[in-house]
Amino acid sequence: MIFIILQIIFLISLAPLVSGIITKIKNNLRLRRGQSVWQPYYNLAKLFSKDEVCSEHSSWVFKITPFIVFASSLLALFLVPAFIAKSPAQYLGDLLLLVFIFSLGRFFLALAGLDTGSSFGGMGSSREMFISSFAEPAIVMAFFAVSFNFGTTNLAATCGPGALKFSSLIAGIALLIVTLAETSRIPIDNQETHLELTMIHEAMALEYSGPSLALIELASYLKQIVFFTLISATVYPVVFCAQITPIQALTGIIIYLAKISFIAVLIAFTEVFLAKMRLFRAVDFLYFSFVLALLALIAATLGA
Amino acid sequence: MHTYVFLSGILIMTYFMVIAKRLPPLISSFRLQSLFLFLFTVSLAISGGEPSLYVVAGLILILKVILIPTLLLRIIKKIKVNENLGFFMNPQLSLFTALLLTYLSYLFTFRVMNLIDRMQAASFALALCVTLLGLFIMVFRIKALSQIVGLLVMENGLFLTAVTMCRGLPFIVEFSTFLDIFISVIILGVFVYRINTLFTHIDVNKLDNLKG
Amino acid sequence: MQIIYFFAIPLIIMAASFSVNNSKVLGRLNALAYFAILLSTFGLSINFKEPLSFFNFFYVDALSILFLFTISVVAFAAALFSIDYISKDVLSGAISEKKAKTYYLLFNLFSLSMFFVPVANNLGMVWIGIELTTLASAFLVGFYNKKASLEAAWKYIIICSVGIILALFGTIIFYYTASTHAGIRSLNWTEIVSSAKSLNVNIVKVAFLFILVGYGTKAGIAPMHTWLPDAHSQAISPVSAMLSGVLLKTAIYAILRFYVITNICVGAQFSSKLFILFGLISLGIACGFLLVQKHIKRFLAYSSIEHIGVIILGFGLGSGFALYGAFLHIFNHAVTKSLMFFGAANVVKKYKKDNMHAIRGIASAMPFTGLMLILGMFAIAGMPPFSIFFSEIFIAIGGFVKGSYLVTAFYLFFIVVIFGAIIYHLSRILFGKKPQGLAVSHEALSTKMAFIFLFIFICTVGIKVPAFLNTLIMGAVKIVTNN
């Protein structure tokens, strides 16, 4: 139990750092000094201490959304195994639930974008829904491929010890591409700008300020780390089972950190070396990940 | 473990080539594919293969990772051609077909070849799939240069077959094959160059004067 | 070490093409060199008793020598024909003096690579030899650097490369089963054939399919023939003769080597069915195109597809008669088709057009070429007493002997239709009034010699197969039937 609590706290506190690291690497690759890796924490602290402004045209949906989004991300965090092959709340649900939880958050965020009645919010919502309608099948398919190898959709089992397979590797790469879309990164979206023509995620959250914005940002950090954890667990499974010694736990943490930072570096490089795609090209990109996931499924059915 | 990584790297790069819309990404994907092939060969050589595999791996590195892509990129720069590949079949349908071809090659491997070793079966299926997708790129892309790349992808698939099935062909054959590939790329490059000067384009769908 | 001549002499001429400045002198030197090669292959075939092997790398048996001899006959004729053809091109300014020298360089490279194929023991090296023939002849196909010839060359090299890659795939699969099931860590034909029985039947079947489709592309077997009419019609004419006469045959040679292994391992039924199928398809497609073809060199190219179909069908029928006929046909078609291409080359050069509707009265405009074309027309269509008639009849008899009546009936039907098509199209351009203002012209001595040289073979083989050729063919049949 104590492990579970510790793991959750650890992941929550780690989540903004991952974003900070990615931003730092990107800036360094572009030969800039860049902001400190701790900047996300400062931002959160600042936002939480600020006042909040709400549009007078908005309804209760607008006010409730940050909490739902944050709660969904937090719940997702409970489902994924990070250091040990046991998810904190594995009797709660499985891979499919994870997809639904994220959909719930996305649904409310899109509603909130529409709710304020600003044109940007509506645009962002419609784009987000468009993109997610291509991203979600890919996620589900990749999950199927992974779970096919183990005969269960239970996350703890699928991320647990077991031979690394060809199919899980391909599924991991498909997930990596989807992650770019889900965490609004460059070929699909761009976190760094508020350019009205291109933004998707930022457009939906444009009307938020103060603690609500902080919650939404934190939720997206959490979502990011959940995806990273999932990829790392499918491609390079967690090796330690439930009953472990502190030494093993420490090793688990170190391995986990190595995996996460590897993915972070990979993502940073992709963001720097790829250009942002037009919305309709982004569909091709996501379609590609769907095909890869399907490929993984084929490989899995044939036992490779 | 690392074998799987290299193999899936080869596969992903092949799929990247199927969706590539412009020539430079196509060629850089080919370069990466060859790099993965090189790593795969080295890993096989280390895990107790024949010493000639090291030489072959070196040849891959020199020819397919460094020389040939550089040569092709230089041709593109020199002839100043429109970089778009041109599709006979749009990317979405191409990807779907690629998937189908992959499935077929898996089926072929498991039904016809009756390979017992799972690892060997997977890599043979992959090799066959790479060969087929190379053929696919040759047939369904318009630019003459993409046909060269498709040919090279097919060669990569063949090489993968040879390495996984029989730990490489006899050395002299392997060596001359590489030399052969290099010469044929140069010759094809010369032809692309000539076609561009004479026709002012390199679209193979417009090479249709000879019929019947 | 007689085979050293095939490699040494072309290499010397290649070196000479850099140092000799006059292309006409170079051409004569070239013809002389190929005469020497012809003599050495002739010596080899007369003295042939048992297979020779050098360093386990070269392996020369009756099958190899048959192909070597065919190649050297056609290459010598092409070299003779080139002298006048190239110097006329240089005179008319179609090509520069430097390009003429390049021609001789490539010509030698091309024939060198073809000589390499039948003597290599290693099946991988056979593959490399065939790939080299493509690379060497690609520039000869695109020699004039015109739009049409470049297009043809591009199609040629791309389609043949794909085909040949499939063939390599087949070879690798053969190697796989040889190394895992028979324990042979080499691609030497002699070793694989000696333990062919222990290969895996299924895998050999798959591999042979790849080989047949792959090398079949290079051999111009329909439906993989699409490059052939383009390349043959656009290539520089002496090379068209070599392409059609012997290049296709080297690919057939490669198929035959695998055919032997497959037949021992799987049984003759499997390859026989495939060969008959592809042979009939080739005959049918060639038949259709021959009826409507207008372009004279394309017409001859489609006729090549027909004859390749006949050869493949002969091997597919597989009885002694049919095999003998198929081997004889390989030689007969090579000499006859070369003669026809030379004639067509002279016609195209004289009339400056290649549309058969616009060419009339060859017999009166160019008496010698006209005469040769008339005789060649009957020979290629399969009229007695010319040699092709006999090889075609042998194959038909072989079919009846084997009891494949339906196949043989189809075969005879196609042959008869094609006979009609050839006689109809060619007699229209040969006879009739020559266009006004077209002076009667006479050919150079070297050109006449090339024609006569080939025609002697057409006639003598038609009347009686020479003893040495007979021995070679019997030897080849023995190798193919494996007893």
Give residue C221's pLDDT: 92
Q: Does the beta-carbon distance from B8 to A164 stay under 8 Å? A: no
Question: Is the pLDDT higher at C89 or at A82?
Answer: C89
Report the pLDDT value the prediction gives residue C323, as an integer from 0 to 100. 94
Q: Which of residues 90-129 of A touch B (CB under 8 A)?
A: none
Q: How far is B212 from chain C (nearest CA, A)?
A: 7
- Write out the two tokens for C139: 């520039």
Question: Whole-angstrom Cα distance, residue B23 to residue B1?
Answer: 32
DSSP states along A104-169: HHHHHHHHHHHHT--HHHHHHHHHHHHHHHHHHHHHHHHHHHHHHHHT---HHHHTSSS---HHHH
Segment C230-268, tens digit of pLDDT: 999 999 989 999 999 899 999 999 999 999 999 999 988
Distance CA C170, CA C249 (A): 19
Separation CA C131–CA C40 (nearest Å):
25
Number of domains in chain C: 1
How much is the pLDDT for A65?
A: 93
Best residue of B104, B163, B210, B211 to probe chain C, by most C CBs closer than 10 Å: B210
**In chain A, what residues touch B1 (CB-CB under 8 Å)?**
164
All residues of chain B having their beta carbon less than 8 Å from the beta carbon of residue A166 are: 4, 7-8, 122
**From residue B212, how far is each of C130, C165, C228, C260, C481 by CA, in Å?**
27, 26, 11, 35, 38
Which residue of chain B has the CA closest to C132? B180
DSSP code of residue C186: S
Separation of alpha carbons C163 and C216, rounded Å? 8
User: How far is it, in rounded angstroms, from Cα C87 to Cα C99?
Assistant: 11
pLDDT at A299 over 90: no
Nearest CA in chain B to C157: B188
Q: Quote the pTM value.
A: 0.88
**The two structure tokens encoding residue C27:** 């051409």
Mean pLDDT of the region C323-352: 93
**How many Cα atoms within 13 Å fall on the side-chain side of residue A87?**
25
Q: Which residue has the higher pLDDT, A237 or C369?
A: C369
B-chain CB neighbours of C127 within 8 Å are 173, 177
Lowest mean pLDDT of A272-286, C61-75, C78-92, name the range: A272-286
The Cα–Cα gap between B151 and B30 comes to 11
pLDDT at res. A162? 61
Most confident of A1-10, A229-238, C128-137: C128-137
The partner residue sitting opposite B154, judged by closest CB among C145, C165, C295, is C165
Q: Helices (DSSP H) in C352-386: which residue ranges?
A: 362-365, 367-381
Burial-class residue A290 by CB neighbours within 10 Å (0-12, 13-18, 19+): buried
pLDDT in tens, chain B (212 residues): 678 888 889 999 999 999 888 899 999 999 999 999 999 999 888 887 678 889 889 999 999 999 999 999 999 888 888 888 888 888 888 988 999 998 888 888 888 777 777 778 888 889 999 999 999 999 899 888 999 999 999 999 999 998 888 887 888 888 888 888 899 999 999 999 999 988 888 888 888 888 77
Q: Under DSSP, is residue C295 helix (H, G, I), strand (E, B) or coil? A: strand
Question: Has residue C376 got a pLDDT over 70?
Answer: yes
Residue type, C191: E
Q: Residue ranges per domain, chain A?
A: 2-301
Q: Can you give the pLDDT at residue A235?
A: 80
**B13 contacts chain A (CB < 8 A):** no
Residue C330, domain extent: 4-481
Phi, psi of C53 (to 5 degrees): -140, 135
Contact assignment for B191 to C298 by CB distance below 8 Å: no
Distance of residue C165 Cα from the nearest chain B Cα, in angstroms? 7
Q: How confident is the model at residue A285 (pLDDT cuts 50, 70, 90)?
A: confident
pLDDT in the model for residue B116: 74
> Which stretch of DSSP H or E encloses residue B209?
none
Residue C80's pLDDT is what?
A: 93
**Residue C448 class from Cβ within 10 Å (0-12 exposed, 13-18 middle, 19+ buried)?**
middle
Confidence of residue A88 (pLDDT cuts 50, 70, 90): low
pLDDT at A128 over 70: yes
Closest CA to B40 of B7, B8, B15, B65: B7
Confidence of residue C483 (pLDDT cuts 50, 70, 90): low
Angle between helices C296-317 and C387-402 (to 10 degrees): 40
Output the DSSP codes for B78-110: HHT---B--BSS-HHHHHHHHHHHHHHHHHHII
The pLDDT value given to residue B151: 93
Confidence of residue C171 (pLDDT cuts 50, 70, 90): very high
Q: What is the pLDDT of residue A241?
A: 62
Helix (H) or strand (E) holding C135: helix C123-141
How many alpha carbons fall within 13 Å on the CB side of residue B6?
19
Question: pLDDT tier at A146 (50, 70, 90 boundaries)?
Answer: confident
Phi, psi of A296 (to 5 degrees): -60, -40
Query: pLDDT value at position C301?
Result: 93
Chain C residues whose beta carbon lies within 8 Å of the beta carbon of residue B172: 122, 124-125
Q: Which helix (H) or strand (E) holds C294?
A: none
Q: Contact B85/B21 with Cβ under 8 angstroms?
A: yes
- Contact residues on chain B for C168, CB-CB shorter than 8 A: 158, 177
* Contact between chain A and chain C (3 or more Cβ pairs less than 8 Å apart): no
**Is the CB of residue C156 less than 8 Å from the CB of residue C143?**
no
Question: Which residue from B96, B98, B118 is facing A303, i.e. has the nearest CB?
Answer: B118
Predicted pLDDT at A87: 63
Measured between CA atoms, the residue of chain C closest to residue B205 is C151
Nearest to C311 by CA among C214, C242, C244: C244
pLDDT tens digits for C418-474? 999 999 999 999 988 888 888 888 888 999 999 999 999 999 998 889 999 999 999
On whether any CB of chain B is under 8 Å from the CB of A298, the answer is yes
Peptide bond into B170 cis (omega under 30): no
User: Do C411 and C280 form a contact (C-beta atoms < 8 A)?
Assistant: yes
- The whole-angstrom separation of Cα C303 and Cα C317 is 21
- Rounded to the nearest 10 degrees, what angle do helices C296-317 and C268-292 cross at? 160
Decide if B164 contacts B3 (C-beta within 8 A).
no
Q: State chain C's mean pLDDT as an integer.
A: 91
Residue A34 confidence (pLDDT) above 90: no
Tell me A209's DSSP state.
-
Residue range A238-270, pLDDT digits in tens: 666 666 677 887 888 888 899 999 999 999 999
Choice among A232-241, A266-275, C200-209 with the minimum mean pLDDT = A232-241
- Phi, psi (rounded to 5 degrees) for C290: -65, -30
Cα of A201 vs its chain's centroid, Å: 13
Cβ B91 vs Cβ A284: under 8 Å: yes
Of C262, C269, C276, the closest CA to residue C205 belongs to C262
Q: Are C199 and C263 in contact (CB under 8 A)?
A: no
Which residue has 């004279």 as its token pair? C296
Residue pLDDT, tens place only, C259-315: 999 999 998 889 999 999 999 999 999 999 999 998 999 999 999 999 999 999 999
Of A164, A284, A292, the CB nearest to B4: A164
* pLDDT confidence tier of residue A85, bands split at 50, 70 and 90: low
Using alpha carbons, select from B160, B161, B159, B157 the residue that is nearest to residue B174.
B159
pLDDT at res. C341? 94
Hey, is A37 helix, strand or coil?
coil
Q: Under a CB-based contact definition with an 8 Å cutoff, are residues C170 and C209 in contact?
A: yes
Name the one residue in this structure whose structure tokens are 């520089």.
C236
Closest CA to C28 of C466, C449, C422: C449
| C-alpha radius of gyration, chain A, whole number | 19
User: How far away is chain B from the Cα of C401, in angstroms, using its nearest Cα?
Assistant: 35
Give the mean model confidence (pLDDT) for residues C198-202: 89
Size of interface A-B (CB pairs under 8 A): 51
What would the two tokens of residue A266 be? Answer: 């990979």
Q: Note which residues in 53-92 of chain B have CB less than 8 A from chain C.
A: none
Angle at CA A258, nearest 5°, toward A257 and A262?
Answer: 115
Helix (H), strand (E) at residue C52: strand C52-54
CB–CB of A166 and B92 under 8 A?
no
Residue C387 has pLDDT above 60, yes or no: yes
